[in-house]
A and B are shown apart, each in its own frame.
Chain A
Amino acid sequence: MTVLRLWISVLLIALAAPLAAVEPDEMLDDPLLEKRARHISDGLRCLVCQNESIDESNASLAKDLRILVRERLSEGDSDTEVVDYIVARYGEFVLLQPTTGGWNWVLWATGPIGFVLALLIAAGYLRARSKAPVKPVEGLSAEEQARLDEIMKG
């Protein structure tokens, strides 16, 4: 039930209202603007949900945020201005993609640094292995020999 338990809570929230995500009456008439709105809402977290974007969620807070995003866009804000506006009001918790600011560089650098370190260690190991003298194969212990004889007899 490991995964299940949290799934249940995801579910209960996701299905508490009849339908998921953005509703036709919220959508903007301008398809380009609406596309930008969808893109922005995809990256904003629904604050009361379990790891869901406001685009996927049907919580009323998510709906409010979707409408807010569209209002700002209609008033001519750029994508970054809309996101900054929401972050200023709700904090960086709404960003599904964390910023690189502050100590977050550690998060972002984990992969690249880990990879480079692993490559360096592996390179050292491979050099050592390719130059290592060939060791004579050790014989079997008496026990192992007896076992082998038994197997070979079938």
Chain B
Amino acid sequence: MPMITELGHFTLILAFMVSIVQAVVPLIGAHKRLPGWMAVAEPAATTQFVLVAASFAALTYAFVVSDFSVQLVYANSHSEKPMLYKISGVWGNHEGSLLLWVFILALFGAMAAWFGDNLPPTLRARVLGVQASVGAAFYAFILFTSNPFLRLNVVPMNGQDLNPLLQDPGLAFHPPFLYLGYVGLSICFSFAVAALIEGRVDAAWGRWVRPWTLISWVFLTIGIALGSWWAYYELGWGGFWFWDPVENASFMPWLFAAALLHSAIVVEKRESLKSWTILLAIMAFSFSLIGTFIVRSGVLTSVHAFATDPERGVFILGILVFFTGGALTLFAGRASVMEAKGVFGVVSRESALVANNILLAVASLVVFVGTMWPLVAEMAFARKLSVGPPFFNMAFTPFMVLLGLLLPVGAMLSWKRGRADKVLRQLAPALILSLALAGLVWSMQTGRTMLGPVGVFLGAWLVSGSIIDLIAKTGRNRDLSRLFRLPRAEWGKAVAHGGLGITMLGIAGLMAWEEERVLVAQIDEPFTVGQFDFVLKGVETVQGPNYVSDMAEVAVLRGGKEIVRVFPEKRNYPVQQMPTTEAAIDYRFLRDIYVVIGDAQNDGGYVMRIYIKPLANWIWAGCILMSLGGLLSLSDRRYRVAAGARKAAPIKGVPAE
């Protein structure tokens, strides 16, 4: 069916038109209080979604059937790719990924329309209008600079891309999750701008915004964790985070989303921090746009590449300047309208959440300046310099350590007026336990590094602090059966905070105690790394489906007993002329054993790299817990009630906090 591609192109253009209508009519309607005009928003959002979905489906179809008359399919697919990677090829390129971007944007817009029954009509019209205006800008970007539906005049026999490295499940799902997170923040942005136009922010606004922030943050967490895990097992030396500009581009929105989901609690429960929360919502999405700009324009990898083909970069920069600049201008003019209601003392949950926001915002400022600095230095001072991991480790980490130290205390302070001494007394067992563990680790380790003990302290402090927080909620007589009747948000909070601790512990443990050995191993001659002995049993040539592999057999022993046998590979893909290393990783609870085989030497030995990676799994286990915590909070009944009010059971009182 050769027409499907043209249909996809056509529905995309229609979606662009609909988005313009949806951006203009409801906003005017809300301004002039014309119910009929405002009512355009909901059906328009649904229509727009259906149209983009059709467009996305058309492109997916072209990839699935390998229609190489479409330029994009030709350049990014191959008829022999497995189906999963044909599909992931849809977003594995600039044009397709932007189509995914607008698809998700329209999806979120439609969801805001479907679940927005209980919003005041003017606010709803404005939210959908602003959302559509963001959509319109991106439709224009795609249609004018990055059209995925272009055809080739001469149809090639097969596609160009069968890159084996990218055929990996971790990498196939990493981008969609990141996009769900990035684009989810657009709803928060739309709510913020709509509230500024409306001139009104109240507890209900906080309650509407928080679930969108939570879900975006959960998606970002999963997306970042997937990318990091993929780097760990695929790149061949077990690095998990490189402070690369593209990583930072996804990390900054994550930090802002984390700040936003905390400050929205204050708006929701205490009607304070309103203008700050609005500002955060604007910043969170702006950083998503900045991330898109950084990656899509390539400006940070090569100023020259940007200068020779500036069209796309300038377009995104224009979108960024228009929306961020516009929203900030509106903010400057209207923020004073948002007067705070809640009164609270300097020692209170509110203040603790302010501290959380300061630390997260300053930390992302450091990441931002560090990421942009090479560009600034080159343009302003004609200095070509690098800002690499040592800078970020030094400048960023202190804020996270401080955050970890304060978190358990802040999480238990009462609203309005808290008492630090009371909270500290409750937390004393956690503090003693964590200090004892850190001391134990300090005395056991051989090196002089503080990183390990600090990581152990933070991990134990956050996990045990979260547990104590939950137990304290069971009331004076410690009736533990009440644990299961606590609101899900309480569980979400504890699980997510504990997860943060586990991730911090994993990162510190891995960085502090990693052991590595590079050597030429002879067959059947044992060697030792850390507490393990290794024997290279032999290397065989194995024929894979589309590669030839040198597969080594390595026995791992502890105390003379074999505990596992691993098979690292060095593959060669003859068609692509590409050798790859396939590390063998023995995943263990306390440490991973990471074995890499290298080149054969003249004397019959092989280069081998062995890494012992303590607590590596804990990094991603913590991320999973954080996401789970976010989902638990999202499923709290107060949001279920808010989302489906008409269907909900009669409301009982929500426990006061």
Q: Is B383 an interface residue (CB 8 A)?
A: yes
**Chain B 228-273 residues near chain A, CB threshold 8 A:** 231, 234-237, 239, 242-247, 249-250, 272
A17 and B579: CB pair below 8 A? Answer: yes
Q: Would A114 and B239 be within 8 Å (CB), given that A93-B385, A96-B386, A129-B272 are in contact?
A: no
Chain A residues, Cβ within 8 Å of B383? 92, 102
Q: B381-412 vs A: 1/0 string, CB under 8 Å?
A: 10111111111001110110000000000000
A97 and B390: CB pair below 8 A? Answer: yes
* Chain B residue with the shortest CB-CB distance to A27: B518
* Chain B residue with the shortest CB-CB distance to A118: B358
Q: Is B146 an interface residue (CB 8 A)?
A: no
**Chain B 281-316 residues near chain A, CB threshold 8 A:** 291-292, 295-296, 301
Chain A residues, Cβ within 8 Å of B380? 103
A6 and B301: CB pair below 8 A? Answer: yes
A24 and B344: CB pair below 8 A? Answer: no
Chain B min CB distance to A37 (Å): 12
Q: Is B92 an interface residue (CB 8 A)?
A: yes
Q: How many A-B residue pairs have CB under 8 A?
A: 220
Q: Is B341 an interface residue (CB 8 A)?
A: yes
A114 and B343: CB pair below 8 A? Answer: no
B295 and A3: CB pair below 8 A? Answer: yes
* Chain A residue with the shortest CB-CB distance to B204: A144
* Chain B residue with the shortest CB-CB distance to A45: B386
* Chain B residue with the shortest CB-CB distance to A135: B341
Chain A residues, Cβ within 8 Å of B578? 15-16
* Chain A residue with the shortest CB-CB distance to B369: A110
Q: Is B365 an interface residue (CB 8 A)?
A: yes
* Chain B residue with the shortest CB-CB distance to A143: B120
Chain B min CB distance to A94 (Å): 7
Q: Is B570 an interface residue (CB 8 A)?
A: yes
Q: Is A61 an interface residue (CB 8 A)?
A: no
Chain A residues, Cβ within 8 Å of B272? 129
Q: How far is the CA of A19 from the CA of B118 in the complex (A)?
A: 59
B178 and A3: CB pair below 8 A? Answer: yes
CB within 8 A of A20: which of B243, B354, B361, B581? B581
Q: Is B645 an interface residue (CB 8 A)?
A: yes
**Chain A 73-127 residues near chain B, CB threshold 8 A:** 91-99, 102-104, 106-108, 110-111, 114-115, 118-119, 122, 125-127
Chain A residues, Cβ within 8 Å of B231? 7
Q: Would A19 and B599 be within 8 Å (CB), given that A3-B178, A51-B244 are in contact?
A: yes
Q: A55-68 vs B: 1/0 string, CB under 8 Å?
A: 01000000000000
Q: How far is the CA of A87 from the CA of B301 in the complex (A)?
A: 21
* Chain B residue with the shortest CB-CB distance to A17: B579
A107 and B340: CB pair below 8 A? Answer: no
Residue of A3, A114, A133 with highest tally of chain B CB at under 10 A: A3
Q: Would A122 and B365 be within 8 Å (CB), given that A96-B390, A98-B373, A147-B118 are in contact?
A: no
B175 and A129: CB pair below 8 A? Answer: no
Chain B min CB distance to A9 (Å): 8
Q: A117-154 vs B: 1/0 string, CB under 8 Å?
A: 01100100111011011110100000100010011101
CB within 8 A of A4: which of B174, B385, B645, B649? B174
CB within 8 A of B596: which of A2, A3, A19? A19
Chain B min CB distance to A98 (Å): 5
Q: How far is the CA of A133 from the CA of B234 in the complex (A)?
A: 59
Q: Would A98 and B385 be within 8 Å (CB), given that A18-B581, A111-B399 are in contact?
A: yes
Q: Is B321 an interface residue (CB 8 A)?
A: no
Q: Would A97 and B388 be within 8 Å (CB), given that A1-B93, A2-B178 are in contact?
A: yes
B174 and A97: CB pair below 8 A? Answer: no
* Chain B residue with the shortest CB-CB distance to A103: B381
Q: Is A53 an interface residue (CB 8 A)?
A: yes
Q: Is B345 an interface residue (CB 8 A)?
A: yes
Interface size on A, residues (CB 8 A): 69
Q: Is B651 an interface residue (CB 8 A)?
A: yes
Chain A residues, Cβ within 8 Å of B487? none
Q: Would A24 and B607 be within 8 Å (CB), given that A15-B236, A43-B390 are in contact?
A: yes
B365 and A2: CB pair below 8 A? Answer: no
**Chain B 338-381 residues near chain A, CB threshold 8 A:** 340-346, 350-351, 354-355, 358, 361-363, 365-366, 369-370, 373, 377, 380-381
Residue of B235, B249, B641 with highest tally of chain A CB at under 10 A: B235
Q: Is B337 an interface residue (CB 8 A)?
A: no
Q: Would A151 and B343 be within 8 Å (CB), given that A2-B179, A6-B246, A126-B354 are in contact?
A: no
Q: Would A95 and B386 be within 8 Å (CB), given that A3-B250, A154-B649 are in contact?
A: yes
Chain A residues, Cβ within 8 Å of B96? 1
Chain B min CB distance to A14 (Å): 6
Q: Is B414 an interface residue (CB 8 A)?
A: no
Chain B residues, Cβ within 8 Å of A135? 341
Q: Is B47 an interface residue (CB 8 A)?
A: no
B358 and A119: CB pair below 8 A? Answer: yes
Q: Is A8 an interface residue (CB 8 A)?
A: yes
* Chain B residue with the shortest CB-CB distance to A97: B390
Q: How far is the CA of A111 from the CA of B358 in the complex (A)?
A: 11
B370 and A1: CB pair below 8 A? Answer: no
CB within 8 A of A94: which of B369, B386, B598? B386
Chain B residues, Cβ within 8 Å of A52? 242
Q: Is B91 an interface residue (CB 8 A)?
A: yes
Chain B residues, Cβ within 8 Å of A143? 120
Q: Is B615 an interface residue (CB 8 A)?
A: no
Chain A min CB distance to B604 (Å): 14
Q: Is B84 an interface residue (CB 8 A)?
A: no
CB within 8 A of B237: which of A21, A50, A92? A21
Chain B min CB distance to A17 (Å): 7
Chain B residues, Cβ within 8 Å of A19? 236, 570, 581, 596, 598-599, 607, 609
CB within 8 A of B362: which of A5, A56, A91, A118? A118
Q: Would A3 and B385 be within 8 Å (CB), given that A15-B581, A43-B390, A130-B346 are in contact?
A: no
**List of 9 A-B pairs having minimum Cβ-Cβ separation, nearest first:** A96-B388, A97-B390, A1-B97, A19-B598, A6-B246, A118-B358, A111-B366, A110-B369, A154-B650
B residues contacting A by CB (< 8 A) are 91-94, 96-97, 100, 118, 120, 163, 165-166, 171, 174-175, 178-179, 182, 227, 231, 234-237, 239, 242-247, 249-250, 272, 291-292, 295-296, 301, 340-346, 350-351, 354-355, 358, 361-363, 365-366, 369-370, 373, 377, 380-381, 383-391, 394-396, 398-399, 518-520, 570, 578-581, 596, 598-599, 607, 609, 641, 645-646, 648-651
In addition to A19-B599, A114-B362, 4 A-B residue pairs with Cβ atoms within 8 Å of each other are A3-B246, A8-B165, A23-B518, A96-B388
Q: Can you show 21 pairs from A to B with CB atoms below 8 A apart? A: A4-B175, A7-B246, A11-B166, A18-B598, A22-B518, A23-B518, A51-B242, A53-B388, A92-B384, A93-B386, A95-B388, A97-B391, A98-B391, A103-B381, A111-B365, A111-B399, A122-B358, A129-B344, A143-B120, A151-B648, A152-B650
